[in-house]
A = this chain, B = another copy of it.
Amino acid sequence: MDELDRKILEHIQHFGRSSYAEIGGAIGLSVSAVNERLKKLEKQGVIAGWTARVDPLAAGNGVLAFVYVLIERPEHEAAFQALVRSESAIQECHHVASDWSYLLKVRAPNLLALEELVARKIKALPGIPRSQTVIVMSTAKETATVPVHLSPA
């Protein structure tokens, strides 16, 4: 992971359908060198995959919210994790260091659907006495782009 790798990663995070020639032109590297580095980064798992960015609103998701969940005992974790995995509305699930156990990032078509998920599915699970929902009113910045730092060579 050197400066060239870093530039490649920066570039393909912004232009995921670039050809090797385009990447090479942007960072000053030959096509074959780009090919080799890309293959290496993919094999190492640094590049975890490729995706299309879909506009959430255009896809019918009018509501974004962050939901805190409290889980009382470890034996109730499994069912919760299963729900998290199965619900595509739950984009993220983080174990946090706070008064709460988990923080979820949730998208839904409307407030009704959000309530349906939180009240009827999540809180219906055993061992979940409380939750707290933070509604997002507007989003000033939202990117999945990851800052790339050079590893200590």
Binding site for B on A (CB under 8 A): 9, 12-17, 44-56, 58-61, 64, 66, 81, 84-85, 88-98, 102-103, 107, 109, 134-151
Contacts and interface: CB of A to CB of B under 8 A. Distances in A.
A44 B147 CA distance: 29
A11 to B, nearest CB: 9
Nearest to A108: B147
Given A47-B52, A50-B15, A147-B89, A140 B95 contact: yes
13 contacts: A13-B51, A51-B51, A59-B149, A60-B151, A85-B141, A91-B143, A91-B145, A92-B142, A92-B143, A94-B138, A94-B139, A95-B136, A107-B146
A134 B98 contact: yes
A93 to B, nearest CB: 4
